[in-house]
Amino acid sequence: MLITIKTKEEIEILKQGGRILADVLEEISGLTKIGISTGFLNQRAREMILAGGAEPSFEGYRSNFSAKPYPSAICASPNEVVVHGVPSEEVILKDGDILKLDIGVKYKNLFTDAAVTISIGKITDEQNKLINATKRAPPFTKSRMCRITARKARDRF
């Protein structure tokens, strides 16, 4: 992986983009409640990002393996949808749902991205344990991925 050292100006732009992202994530997180559609959350996030002078970085993104560009400003993944769920007016949040929100912002050609997991209404003890386990997983996951990546790199040479 190539690491790019950012200039002081780029770091300041990233901070500004990060502030826009944090404001959007905070408001959208606060709007997630029983009866709200993920489509509504998407529209509100898009409006806020644009009002902040930025662009939704996911909207229109197309990877090398996707047939068409991603259609939304955010990823809203309820329950069994693991990641990159497409928001919809038909997906209404209900009591006991677990929603993963992922939001990306492009500000002055630099990108910030953040995700959060939100419980809707009352969740079970089992759901709460799952959420807490995933919060503890990243340090272990990162260390395992680094070892796997290093091993693959060694195997190439």
Question: What interhelical angle do 8-31 and 38-51 show, nearest 10?
Answer: 150
Pick the CATH number of 8-123 from 3.40.50.720, 3.90.230.10, 3.40.50.1000, 3.40.640.10: 3.90.230.10
| Mean pLDDT in residue range 98-102 | 95
DSSP states of 13-46 as a string?
Answer: HHHHHHHHHHHHHHHHHHH--TT-BHHHHHHHHH
pLDDT of residue 9: 97
pLDDT of residue 143: 57
Kindly tell me if the per-residue pLDDT of 56 is higher than 90.
yes
Q: What is the pTM of this model?
A: 0.83
pLDDT in tens, 107-137: 999 999 999 999 999 999 999 998 888 888 7
Q: Where are the domains of the chain?
A: 8-123, 124-157
